[in-house]
Structure 1
Amino acid sequence: MATQWDPTNLPIRPGLYINFKEAAIAQINGGDRGIVAMPLFTYTGGTATAKQFYTVENEVDATSLFGAANVQPIKFALQAGAAEVLVYTMPATPADADHTDMREAFEARPFNVFVYPAGATDAQQDNTLTWCQTNREEGKHFMVVFGGDATSDQDPVEGNANTARLDDDYSVNVIVGVTTSETNYTSGQYAPYIAGLIAGKQINQAITYAVLPVDDVTKRLRNSEIKTALQAGSLVLTHDGEKVKVEQGLTTSGKKIRSIRARQAISTDLAKVARDSYIGQLSNNESGQTSLIAAITAYLETLENEDVLILPDMEDETPAVQLDPNRESVGDSVFLLINYTEVDSMERIFITIQL
């Protein structure tokens, strides 16, 4: 795994270490995509047993495992575009320790987005965010999607307060529920759909203005409330008079989900390439360093072709990948600098008509 490193305390374990600096351009997405992780608390009527992992790719298997009455969160994630849902079955009467055990168990499994199936207490949300942050520091990158209850869904001020409490680049907080012809869902209950939407998107796509297959939202916010929520970093669902859509794909820190997913996966992808093909196999000399730089450059060029990022012009004095001039790459350590600009989605169009 690619791990954040401290220049004053270099890591000991062999690996490729990437340091994300806030002054740098947001990174790009890559790696395995489309996996939503969630715990499941009720699974009567199925064959599943407690404290086990199950990988689900379709509704039929979900129903067989967990019972038809319990699979709506899984259906939401799959319907939104997730390739699969990684489910962990919780014990019948889970205590705080069981939540901790569940989160720690997920650490050994690959996934892209974590979500509770029907919301969680403030304490469990806080613990989950701390867990996500700890994993990020240790090199495992994923997003977490939160939501509220019926009360907070009716009060955007409370929803935005929850967003502030969950402030983080890797965190998403939905503050409006949805209605269908059959029932209403709180933002917490609908969060698995948003998790699937995020996980299922291609790396050159945003979820902004994604149309949702529901009839309405549980509360239509005024224009001023929508702007305030966006400024707070809340993920707002709106009805535009014809359809329900995601107003803007934002994390609770106010950054673009597309950009954060990009940051997460460049670390994952480059670490995997280094682990599979380079660590322990290249000499740390000019020839080996040139080969490593060429491989990373080729990876970035592929992403440039996919409209994920823009590399410096050939005439630019700063190459896309180079040895760090401030740190000597000797012994078993190589220090690299990577330079590129991300491609954002077109989300605001300003037109002036001259007569």
Structure 2
Amino acid sequence: MAGGEWEITDLPKLPGLYMNFKAAALAAVTTGDRGTVVVPYKAHWGKIGGFTELYRETDILNVFGSIEDSNGSTFYKTLRMCCLGGPKKILGYRLASSAAAKATLTLKDAENADKVTLSAKYEGERGNGFRATLAASLTDEGVYTLKLYEDTTLLKTYSFTTWQGLVDTVNADNSYVTAAKAAANTDLSGNTFKPTTSAAFSGGNSGITGVTAADYIAMLNVLEQETFNFLTLDGVTDASIQTSVASWVINMRKNGKKIMAIMGGSAADDTGDEAVANTIARSAGFNHEGIINVGVGVVLDDVSYCSAEVAPYVAGLIAGQKMTESTTYAATSFDDVTRRWRGGRSSEQEKAVTNGVFLFIYDGRIVKVLQGINTLITLRQKQNNAFKKIRSIRTMDAIDSDMQKTAEDNYIGKINNIVEGREALVGACKQYMEVCAQGGIIEKGTYDVYCDPTYHGANATITPEPDQVFLKWEAQITDVVEKIFSDFVCK
């Protein structure tokens, strides 16, 4: 359905719930599933241009058959980082160029004629490691077996009596390969097979080398129709790609799709002499509540990761938190940071906080988040400092998303735009806010929802169209304790 922001001078024409969030008029929410992260990656296996659901680190091995990145792949490092953050769900999206191809092997009959072509289920180099052995069964007369190996590991054993039986059996369980006629006119009724021993598949191409900015932009087009909460990248530091992602997210937010993007910089950006200036400049370039800029890399198990590579962790961390939690001072399992920003008053850490940089710090015991902030630096009209906090934006986004769904399911096109219908809508909104207040998301006793008296009621100064309803929301969104000031009086 349509949604997003609205202006009285340019009211939207499509049916939908349009909501403006203002510092003095915040809304309410019921907590829902806010924990889905979209993670693009490059890999040697898996679905291309579509989504693969993952929930935990063990899913990576189950889906990809490996936990190592090689030859340009980024799947393991990126997905593992996101899993470590603890999201509820990951939607993995594999990127590949048009050069991506499936590894194949053609089986022959006793007369050495091509009969059946086996193809790896997915495009990629992994398929080049498949091997097939075809032989007569040692125990059942007239039965043949095809054993599929990956290097020396047996993956599958198929039994059949005819070429058609081979095709049917393989395709019934297509975990690794599929089977088809070698040619359109190939006869599969026979049962004469040419034995093969450890015959290798070939021709698999992962399509990694040719991945460009256009492939990331194509992914964004697909994401417009997908439901998720956070978007990150697979260690990409290309400024043009990051700018495209940021612009897309900002546009989506204006049109009612309340998502956030988390990105970072290169190792050189994180650790060089100009690290602070470069990182702050990157945040200034984004300058939006929907974009989070990670400003420092981390060390885990003696391996250093740049801030762009640790951005998926931040996405997972935010996605895994309750609505009442904050990333501020959130403890991590990292061993160290790649650059320790100096603390204290008027320090590098203070510059990070005031200039929209999401920073990890080492406090002498653990690595933790300094403060849960986004890149919003310059407040726009009707914004206050709450818009700089990730927790506040998550609350506002949840309100918007929940109310859009509720309006679509229960009110738009279903109730009359009369006093009783508007009262029912207001009552539902207040119930949402009551739930939020009970859950600690908004302050109790601070909220209200009512029809905007500018458009409705005896004192209205503007007459709305018969299908329009204008609501006013008032509430105080809660925050966590981040600064404690005290006086110690010695007597």
TM-score normalised by the chain length of structure 1:
0.93
Equivalence map 1:5-154=2 (5 Å): 5-21=6-22, 24-25=25-26, 30-41=31-42, 43-44=43-44, 46=45, 48-66=46-64, 67-69=66-68, 70-91=75-96, 92=207, 93-154=210-271
Which amino acid counterpart does residue 68 of structure 1 have in structure 2?
A: I
Out of 283, 290, 293, which is 1:163 matched to? 283
Which whole-Å CA distance do the structure 1 matches of 2:368 and 2:413 have between them? 49
1:281 to 406, 414, 421: 414
Partner of residue 322, structure 1: 450
Q: Using the alignment, how far apart are the partners of 2:59 and 2:340 within structure 1? A: 36
Amino acid at match of 2:487: T
Deviations 1:79-136 (A, max 9, x none): 2120111111111222332221101111111111100021331111111000001101
How far apart, in 2, do the equivalents of 1:148 and 1:65 lie? 29
Report deviation, 1:28.
Answer: 5.9
Structure 2 equivalent of residue 245 of structure 1: 368
SS of the aligned residue for 1:310 comes to coil
Structure ranking higher in helix proportion: 1
Contact preservation (8 Å) 1:173, 1:251: yes
Question: C-alpha distance in 2, partners of 1:103/1:266?
Answer: 24
The 3 A distance-change label for structure 1 pair 94 and 29 is farther
State the structure with more CA Rg.
2
Q: Which residue of 2 aligns with 1:188?
A: 308
Question: How far, CA to CA, are the matches of 2:14 and 2:32 in structure 1?
Answer: 22
Structure-2 residue corresponding to 1:342:
477
Task: Please list the CA deviations of residues 13-69 of structure 1 after superposition, one character each: whole Å capped at 9, or x if unmatched.
Answer: 11111122355448768442111111112x11x3x1321211111223322333321
Label 1:295 to 1:201 Cα distance change in 2 as closer, same or farther (>3 A): same
Relative to structure 1, is the Cα distance of residues 311 and 29 closer, same or farther in structure 2, using a 3 angstrom cutoff?
same
* 1:301-337: CA deviation from partner (whole Å, max 9, x where unpaired): 1001111112545xxxxx6000011124551111100
Gaps of at least 5 residues in structure 2 are 69-74, 97-206, 378-387, 457-463
Q: Which amino acid aligns with 1:291?
A: A
1:182 is displaced (CA, Å) by: 3.3
The count of aligned residue pairs is 347
Letter in 1 for 2:452: D
| Matching residue within 210, 233, 236 for 2:356 | 233
* Cα shift readout 1:141-192 (whole Å, capped 9, x = no counterpart): 1111011111111111111111111211111111111112231111111110
More strand by share: 2
- The answer on whether the counterparts of 1:311 and 1:339 sit within 8 Å (CA) in structure 2 is no
Show the 5 A alignment for 1:260-271: 260-271=393-404
Q: CA RMSD in A?
A: 1.7
Contact 2:5/2:254 (CA < 8 Å) preserved in 1?
A: yes
Provide the rounded CA distance (Å) in 2 between the counterparts of 1:25 and 1:194.
Answer: 26
Residues 246 and 27 of structure 1, relative CA distance in 2, 3 Å threshold: farther
Question: 1:236 Cα shift?
Answer: 1.0
d(CA) in 2 for partners of 1:326, 1:23 = 17
For residue 177 of structure 1, the aligned residue among 297, 308, 315 is 297
Asked if the contact 2:36–2:90 (Cα under 8 Å) also holds between the matched residues in 1, the reply is yes
Mapped to 1, the partners of 2:27 and 2:416 lie a distance apart of: 31
